[in-house]
Homo-oligomer: A and B are copies of this chain.
Amino acid sequence: MLLNVGTFIRSATRFSPFIITHSSPSSFCFSFSPKQTVSFALQSSQMASFTTLSQSPPKLLFRQLFEKESSTYTYLLADCSHPDKPALLIDPVDRTVDRDLNLVKELGLKLIYAMNTHVHADHVTGTGLIKGKVPGVKSVISKASGSKADVFVEPGDKISFGDLFLEVRATPGHTMGCVTYVTGDGPDQPQPRMAFTGDALLIRGCGRTDFQIFTLLKETLLYPAHDYKGFSVTTVGEEMLYNPRLTKDEETFRNIMENLNLAYPKMIDVAVPANMVCGLQDLEPKAN
C-alpha cells in the first residue's frame, strides 16, 4: 500500500481521538511491596554487583535536559524513594529555568540544591533565578571558583540528597575551580557510578582531568556539561581509548591546546561576571 503523501500531515486529525481515564498517583515512585519501590524514571544501569550486594531498591530519578543555544546539558537528580523526594539540578541555564522548575513540580520533587560544576563562560547560570523562584534552594559551587554561592564545596566533600549523595572531585584546567560531581560509591548508590564532568571532559573532546576522572572505574558513565555533536553520555573506558586529546602524550596535548585558535567566546563578557554572582548581576543592586 502506498502512503498518500497529500494526507500525511493531516492524518492525525482523521482518526477518532480518545478519552484517557487514569488515576492520579500522588507520587512518581510506585511501591509494589514494602521492599519493591520502582522509580518512575530513567536510571543508570544496576550493575551485577549491585544486584548481589544489596536488596535496596533502585531509587535515583535522573533526567538529562538540553539547552540548544549553548548546547548545555542540565541534569536533574532526585532520591525518589525518600518521603521528601529531595532533588538537585546540576548546571541549570537561565533560559530554561522555567522548563526545569515545571518538571520538578510535575514530578513532585523538592528542589534543595542548584549546583554548578564551574563558572561558565558560554551561558548565564540559572541558579540565581531558581533561588528567587523557589525559596529555600541553596546554590552550590566550588570554593576554588571564587564565585558567590550559598554552599562552597571542596574536593572530597559529599552533597547528600535523601539517601543518595554526590562526591566532589577537583578537575581544574578549564577553569581554576572546575569540579566533577560523582554519584556515591556503595551498595545502595547507583551503579555504574555517574560523573557530571562539566567542561573538564567533553565526549570525545577536550578535557583537563588531573587524573581525577580517569581514576574512576572504566564503566563509570560520564555526563558532560555540553555536547556539540548530539552525543548524550560516554564512559571512562571509551574516553581513555577514543578521546582525541586525552590519548596523547604531554607535549602533543600541550601543542593541541595551544593551537586551538578558538574564537572569542560570544557570551563570556556577559556570562562570567553574571555567573560569579549566581547569575543575578542585574538583581544584585536591588538586593543590597
Decide if A283 is an interface residue (CB 8 Å cutoff).
Answer: no
Given contacts A40-B237, A48-B57, A247-B20, contact A5 B272 (CB under 8 A): yes
User: For the complex, is A158 an interface residue (Cβ under 8 Å from B)?
Assistant: no
- When the two chains form their complex, are residues A32 and B49 in contact, meaning their CB atoms are under 8 A apart? yes
A216 → chain B, closest Cβ, in Å? Answer: 13
Determine whether the beta carbon of B173 is less than 8 Å from that of A15: yes
- A176 contacts across to B, CB distance below 8 A: 1, 3, 11
CA distance A107 to B237 in the complex (A): 10
> Which residues from chain B contact A227 at a C-beta distance below 8 Å?
66
Q: Number of contacting residues on A, CB 8 A?
A: 105
Which residues of B lie under 8 Å from residue A214 when comparing CB positions? 20, 22
A263 CB to nearest B CB, Å: 10
Assembly CA distance A2 to B272 (angstroms) = 12
Given A1-B146, A218-B30, does the pair A48, B20 have CB atoms closer than 8 Å?
A: no
- Known contacts: A12-B257, A35-B48. The answer to whether A232 contacts B232 by CB under 8 A is yes
- The interface residues of chain B lying within 8 Å CB-to-CB of A45 are 38-39, 41-46, 58, 60
* A42 vs B250: C-alpha distance when bound (angstroms): 31
Chain B, residue nearest A46 (CB): B46
The answer on a CB contact under 8 Å between A17 and B257 is yes
Q: Is the CB of B8 within 8 A of A121?
A: yes
How many Å lie between the Cα of A233 and that of B13 in the bound state? 25
Judge whether A17 and B208 touch: CB under 8 Å: yes
Footprint of B on A, CB under 8 Å? 1-3, 5, 8-9, 11-13, 15-20, 22, 24-25, 28, 30, 32, 35-52, 55, 57-58, 60, 63-68, 74, 96, 99, 103, 106-107, 119, 121, 143-147, 172-177, 192, 206, 208-211, 214, 218-219, 221, 227, 229-233, 235, 237-238, 240-242, 246-250, 253-254, 257-258, 262, 265, 268, 272-273, 276
